[in-house]
Structure 1
């Protein structure tokens, strides 16, 4: 039996002087070779083992897609339909603003700006995460 596993690409950002870590699962690309996938296969697809050493929010997004915001201790997960693309201006990222209205543009610590939209622009937010094909 052959098992092919893939995960979405994850955009990683920090906000509020690294107080928050933001992880956004997007496609394309679909990732088929990655340290997480290697650990997953070596550990008989046990997520707990494969997630060791990762921020729980990052692992959650790799497995289930969507957007996760972590403060290092806890995280919030969002399944939002739409796309993300680079923008020109936006408000400082805040989990509270994102929860209230994710469909706007946000600035992160690295001065990059990401816009979340329902329009087909940029990369699609992947709300599926880990995929397995068994053959």
Structure 2
């Protein structure tokens, strides 16, 4: 194979690679827009939970909760919890050091947190149901303990 033929093939591959990068950027933009819209649509619900002094939980990130806003992601490798602060926006919190850094919706998408972020925002509709279910379970347990004494 000649050098010119190899260079021609590389140019063609570069064209395909550039097209794939453009498609990826388009998808990142779409996911970013979805997160931004969901955050905007959820503001009043977030404020309601905050005013009622509920901690925010997440349907799949169960080891953490926060009073500061809905949980949007967790990076276990870097020990970072990502949440939407009621007033500040998206925050990345280092769990070990307490260091905080503001990030944006694009950062969430580029770091693989899209599904977790959507789940965390959608969970706002069911979060109180989970609190109630847990409370009823505790009540049942306490009633059972009292019955055992009688």
What is the TM-score with the length of structure 2 in the denominator? 0.24
| Structure richer in strand, relative to its length | 1
* RCO higher in structure (CA 8 A, sep ≥6): 1
| Structure richer in helix, relative to its length | 2
What is the TM-score with the length of structure 1 in the denominator? 0.25
Larger Rg: 2
